[in-house]
Structure 1
């Protein structure tokens, strides 16, 4: 047999994959849209090419030989690659597909972005989202992320940035905690309560100072930089901590502490690299975040 005759024939390999997936010539032929005799000829041609039988013909059907099993994995990989290639060739040139990496604070990513991204995934199944839920500010110019949701205005002038609204935060306690320990009357009595606060994040101290809370006299019973963990502890009745006002349902299980004084509003900025305009997938995600975040917080 010449070298040309030994080169793999895609139709024959596809026939092998189909028969091994579906278990019979008739089922494989229906899957490929071929007649059973045509598919049988392709299998026999492949057997001549490899020099041995690929299936044992049994009354119960076809049983793949060891050679067929060895050929299946690379042939199946080719079949899957061909399917992806066909989909890519059929896709419009401006289709929004590919990976988009978003960075946001842990709490914002969990509470706000996850529901938004669910709708986005339904509308644009070709887009894959990487969500970096971190309180660290990632560098967009260095391409640590494509899009960032931040609570301060980006300092890098090369970025596209829009302010979409504000999020209000305050001190809260669960009704169960208040029933057991009472509600602090003023800042002085706050020192006698179980407080939930930051570990190493300096923004917690900055917020307390902004509210006039005496950090030097306060003792935190639970320290964590995870805003999600802080909120969960407040809801569980562990103590008093900072939460987004929007997450505390009016008349629900959470009570506002010092609502007249312990309040602050943080801006919501959406930032992206300037070349976002030339990328359909980045533009789709950016525009979706603009519309949904502005509607909720604007």
Structure 2
């Protein structure tokens, strides 16, 4: 490769990977299908690699394409972060304008953050919020997000982190479920109940199981890795499950069970890349999220 490869070729490459066809990629990128085809052909020529093969269902990625995907996605995140950062630093007036990308877990993003984002919008109507909800830790170093709410202490030195406190988890059930099935009096009694729990094992779950070996995957009757789905299954009376104390009395009140047996704490942090310390937009959003999360944690059952 004697010449730099244009970013738009990699952008088209990612779109074809995700859509599975040139036509799908062209629709997503708002370019013509021949243009998308030229980008892929030029990229294959520059890399001297076949990236896609044709099949009856569309274009199939080769091993070379799959190996490049992560690096191309990093480029995509960096390009998006460049645009957000430039926007955040582009004005020197008193009105804050810009785009801030916030990452959080599903349950925090759905149950807690909407009111805080509404507060941000009222205070700073020119700040655009991009909300990313995932239980995967977004990579702040590669700027997949600008600010993240995490349930684990950050390890990277390049991050600005503020510890908010600890969120306590307990075992809960709805009044409707307990009226039908009664309350477990001991941990062993849980085996006779419908339990809501995880599907796929994770490092966080394995750590919790060291303290609570009874709560293995086999004991659960309902499996899902979505924290929001677990919470709403408990609220619906489908079974007994684990819930944040602060969420137990929202919408449908839940009753805590076996408090002496199960009490698990999640260390909670609001984190931002240090490159954004001088971004007034990011600092404003960071401060409101930190204050709001502290208020949420301070709520008592």
Cα distance change on mapping 1:253 and 1:161 into 2, 3 Å: closer
What is the deviation of 1:264?
A: 1.1
Q: Structure 2: how far apart are the matches of 1:209 and 1:150?
A: 21
Query: Does structure 1 conserve the Cα–Cα contact (< 8 Å) formed by 2:187 and 2:261?
Result: no
What is the deviation of 1:201?
A: 4.3
Equivalent residues in 2 for 1:44-59, closer than 5 Å: none
RMSD value over aligned CA atoms?
1.9
Query: Does structure 2 conserve the Cα–Cα contact (< 8 Å) formed by 1:205 and 1:215?
Result: no
Query: Does structure 2 conserve the Cα–Cα contact (< 8 Å) formed by 1:95 and 1:281?
Result: no
Query: Does structure 2 conserve the Cα–Cα contact (< 8 Å) formed by 1:211 and 1:263?
Result: no
Equivalent residues in 2 for 1:36-115, closer than 5 Å: 92-93=92-93, 95-115=95-115
Cα deviation digits, residues 189-218 of structure 1 (max 9, x gap): 2111111001114234543442342527x4
Cα distance change on mapping 1:144 and 1:268 into 2, 3 Å: same
What is the deviation of 1:253?
A: 3.5
Equivalent position of 1:238 in the other structure: 238
Structure 1 gap ranges (5+) = 1-90
What is the deviation of 1:111?
A: 1.1
| Partner secondary structure for residue 148 of structure 1 | strand
| Partner secondary structure for residue 265 of structure 1 | strand
| Partner secondary structure for residue 169 of structure 1 | strand
Q: Structure 2: how far apart are the matches of 1:253 and 1:138?
A: 32
| Partner secondary structure for residue 221 of structure 2 | strand
Equivalent position of 2:160 in the other structure: 160
Query: Does structure 2 conserve the Cα–Cα contact (< 8 Å) formed by 1:199 and 1:225?
Result: yes
Equivalent position of 2:264 in the other structure: 264
What is the deviation of 1:228?
A: 0.6
Equivalent position of 2:85 in the other structure: none
How many equivalent pairs are there? 206
Query: Does structure 1 conserve the Cα–Cα contact (< 8 Å) formed by 2:171 and 2:240?
Result: yes
> Whose radius of gyration is greater, 1 or 2?
1
Q: Structure 1: how far apart are the matches of 2:108 and 2:224?
A: 16
Structure 2 gap ranges (5+) = 1-90
Q: Structure 1: how far apart are the matches of 2:170 and 2:215?
A: 16
Q: Structure 1: how far apart are the matches of 2:159 and 2:167?
A: 22
Query: Does structure 2 conserve the Cα–Cα contact (< 8 Å) formed by 1:146 and 1:282?
Result: yes
Q: Structure 1: how far apart are the matches of 2:141 and 2:155?
A: 11
Query: Does structure 1 conserve the Cα–Cα contact (< 8 Å) formed by 2:246 and 2:296?
Result: no
Q: Structure 1: how far apart are the matches of 2:215 and 2:225?
A: 20
Equivalent residues in 2 for 1:132-281, closer than 5 Å: 132-202=132-202, 203-215=204-216, 218-249=218-249, 253-281=253-281
What is the deviation of 1:97?
A: 1.0
| Partner secondary structure for residue 191 of structure 1 | helix
